């Protein structure tokens, strides 16, 4: 029985619950391999549970996970909320209904955020309009009627002006303009495929109009997410979570969808609305669980060593060296 993190010595929170360990609020488990980790709330490292009592606890977690709600998932990892717990289920593919559910939640959250702005502004403007109406004795009915649309367009403009923070602002290769990116400028960018990067975004220069610079990795993901959020607000069209989920699924998952869009060579603003929403969901989802998946792979390697699955000393030696290198360079 352990109550503190093996890496940082921090206290592992928890009240027993489904783990039966007496520790852990964030628990990762693999039903097929019978593995269980307690994720430290302080340093996020994965603590492998002792082998002896693992199986029944993993079974209990599996039952809890089926009652819980999937917050995000990759092909290998699903983050599930269950009561006060975060359950990280690894090694099992997600289902389409999960995808539909979480895309729907995201759309609802976006509408709620939008209404927080649109509603007060509309109410305030209505008050002004009524006062003006009374004072002027005339009819401003048309103005009042259009108010929600007007407020919504102010909100959309605000989202479009949001700055995209990059490690280093790109410079146009042709005219030398420094591109201080705002969300709405990403509308003219397009995805492209490169050998090295999973995600590459070609930016158009606002000064000379040529394709100016290429963003890759986290920069590309950040710009793409901001740009797509703006575009999907500004040119939403029909937006249904189920359609987006189906498009991602039909493409063969988020990675494939992103590659297909890259091959089409279309700018983001010329994509069909439902496809653009699907792309946003795919990019978002990838970013959210990619970190979790990286952590799992490291934890899995340690578990292999701890459970004695590696066959030779030489193999064990190699893994330990690699893990040490990873720890020495956390960003590399
Ligand atoms: Zn820790
Ligand atoms: Zn330029």
Q: Answer whether residue 20 is part of any domain.
A: yes
Q: Answer whether residue 301 is part of any domain.
A: no
Q: If you measure from the C-alpha of residue 178 to the centroid of ligand 2, how many angstroms do you get, rounded to a whole number?
A: 8
Among the bound ligands, name the one nearest to the CA of residue 179.
Answer: 2
Among the bound ligands, name the one nearest to the CA of residue 6.
Answer: 1
> Whose CA is closest to 24, among 50, 49, 56?
49
Q: Answer whether residue 328 is part of any domain.
A: no
126 and 262 both lie in a single domain: yes
pLDDT (tens, 9 = 90+) of the chain, 332 residues, equals: 578 888 899 888 876 666 565 688 889 998 877 888 998 888 888 888 887 778 788 888 888 888 887 777 776 788 888 888 889 888 755 455 556 666 777 777 777 777 787 777 777 766 766 666 666 655 555 555 566 677 778 888 888 888 888 878 889 988 998 888 899 989 999 998 877 767 889 999 988 988 888 998 888 888 998 999 898 888 765 567 778 888 887 887 777 888 899 998 899 999 988 889 889 888 877 776 677 788 888 888 778 777 766 556 676 667 667 766 766 654 43
> Whose CA is closest to 6, among 24, 31, 33, 30?
24
> Per 3-state DSSP, what percentage of the chain is helix, strand, and coil (rounded to 5)?
55, 15, 30
> Whose CA is closest to 100, among 246, 279, 229?
246
146 and 33 both lie in a single domain: no
110 and 139 both lie in a single domain: yes
Convert 28-41 to b/e letters by CB count within 10 Å (16 or more is b).
bbbbebebbbbbbb
**DSSP symbols for 270-331:** GS-HHHHHHHHHHHHHHHHHHHHHHHHHHHHHHHHHHTT---SHHHHHHHHHHHHHHHH-S-
117 and 250 both lie in a single domain: yes
54 and 172 both lie in a single domain: no
**DSSP symbols for 174-230:** TT--B---BGGGGGG-EEE--SS-S-EEEEEPTTT-SEEEEEEHHHHHHHHHHHHHH
C-alpha dihedral, 21 to 24 to 25 to 26, nearest 10°: -110
> What gap in Å lies between CA 131 and CA 137, rounded to an integer?
10
79 and 111 both lie in a single domain: no
17 and 5 both lie in a single domain: yes
Q: Answer whether residue 213 is part of any domain.
A: yes
Q: If you measure from the C-alpha of residue 215 to the centroid of ligand 1, how many angstroms do you get, rounded to a whole number?
A: 34
171 and 201 both lie in a single domain: yes
Q: Answer whether residue 251 is part of any domain.
A: yes
> What gap in Å lies between CA 37 and CA 26, rounded to an integer?
9
Q: If you measure from the C-alpha of residue 24 to the centroid of ligand 1, how many angstroms do you get, rounded to a whole number?
A: 11
Which residue reads 């503190």 in tokens?
A: 4
88 and 147 both lie in a single domain: no
Q: Terminus-to-terminus CA distance in the chain, angstroms?
A: 34
> What gap in Å lies between CA 24 and CA 253, rounded to an integer?
31
pLDDT value of position 175: 92
Cβ pair 139, 147 in contact under 8 A: no
Which residue reads 């939008």 in tokens?
A: 114
CB atoms within 10 A of CB 134: 9
Q: Answer whether residue 103 is part of any domain.
A: yes
Q: If you measure from the C-alpha of residue 85 to the centroid of ligand 1, how many angstroms do you get, rounded to a whole number?
A: 17
CB atoms within 10 A of CB 320: 14
Q: If you measure from the C-alpha of residue 194 to the centroid of ligand 2, how many angstroms do you get, rounded to a whole number?
A: 22
Single out the residue in 94, 110, 137 at which a domain terminates: 94
Q: If you measure from the C-alpha of residue 186 to the centroid of ligand 2, how many angstroms do you get, rounded to a whole number?
A: 15
Single out the residue in 94, 117, 148 at which a domain terminates: 94
- Write out the residue range of the structural domain in which residue 180 sits: 98-287
Does the predicted TM-score (pTM) go above 0.85?
no
Q: If you measure from the C-alpha of residue 50 to the centroid of ligand 2, how many angstroms do you get, rounded to a whole number?
A: 59
Q: Answer whether residue 44 is part of any domain.
A: yes
Q: If you measure from the C-alpha of residue 329 to the centroid of ligand 2, how many angstroms do you get, rounded to a whole number?
A: 37
Among the bound ligands, name the one nearest to the CA of residue 170.
Answer: 2
Single out the residue in 94, 121, 149 at which a domain terminates: 94
Which residue reads 């959210």 in tokens?
A: 288
pLDDT value of position 28: 92
68 and 138 both lie in a single domain: no
102 and 239 both lie in a single domain: yes
Q: Answer whether residue 17 is part of any domain.
A: yes
Q: How many domains does the chain have?
A: 2
160 and 239 both lie in a single domain: yes
Q: What is the bridge-based pairing of β-strands 26-30 and 85-90?
A: parallel
Among the bound ligands, name the one nearest to the CA of residue 212.
Answer: 2
């Amino acid at each position: 029985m352990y109550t503190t993190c093996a890496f940082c010595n921090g206290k592992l929170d928890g009240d027993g619950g489904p783990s039966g360990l007496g520790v852990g609020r964030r628990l990762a488990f693999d039903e097929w391999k019978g593995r269980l980790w307690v994720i430290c709330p302080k340093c996020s490292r994965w603590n492998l549970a002792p082998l002896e009592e693992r199986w029944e606890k993993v079974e209990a977690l599996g039952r809890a996970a089926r009652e819980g709600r999937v917050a995000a998932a990759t092909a290998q990892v699903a983050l599930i909320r269950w009561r006060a717990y975060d359950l990280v289920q690894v090694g099992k593919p997600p289902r389409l209904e999960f995808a539909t559910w979480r895309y729907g939640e995201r759309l609802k959250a976006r509408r709620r955020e939008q209404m927080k702005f649109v509603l007060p502004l509309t109410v305030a403007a209505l008050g002004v309009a009524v006062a003006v109406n009374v004072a002027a004795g005339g009819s401003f009915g048309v103005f009042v009627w259009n108010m929600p649309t007007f407020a919504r367009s102010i909100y959309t403009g605000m989202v479009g002006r949001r700055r995209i923070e990059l490690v280093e602002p790109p410079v146009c290769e042709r005219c030398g303009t420094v591109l201080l990116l705002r969300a709405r400028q990403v509308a003219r960018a397009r995805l492209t495929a490169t050998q090295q990067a999973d995600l590459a975004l070609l930016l158009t220069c606002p000064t000379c109009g040529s394709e100016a610079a290429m963003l890759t990795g986290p920069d590309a993901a950040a710009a793409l997410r901001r740009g797509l959020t703006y575009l999907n607000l500004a040119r939403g069209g029909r937006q249904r979570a189920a359609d987006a989920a189906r498009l991602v699924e039909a493409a063969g998952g988020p990675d494939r969808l992103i590659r297909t869009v890259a091959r089409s060579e279309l700018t983001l603003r010329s994509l069909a609305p439902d496809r653009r929403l699907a792309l946003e969901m795919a990019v978002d989802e990838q970013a959210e669980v990619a970190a979790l998946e990286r952590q799992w792979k490291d934890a899995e390697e340690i578990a292999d060593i701890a459970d004695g699955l590696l066959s030779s000393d030489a193999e064990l030696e190699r893994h330990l060296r690699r893990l040490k290198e990873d720890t020495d360079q956390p960003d590399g």
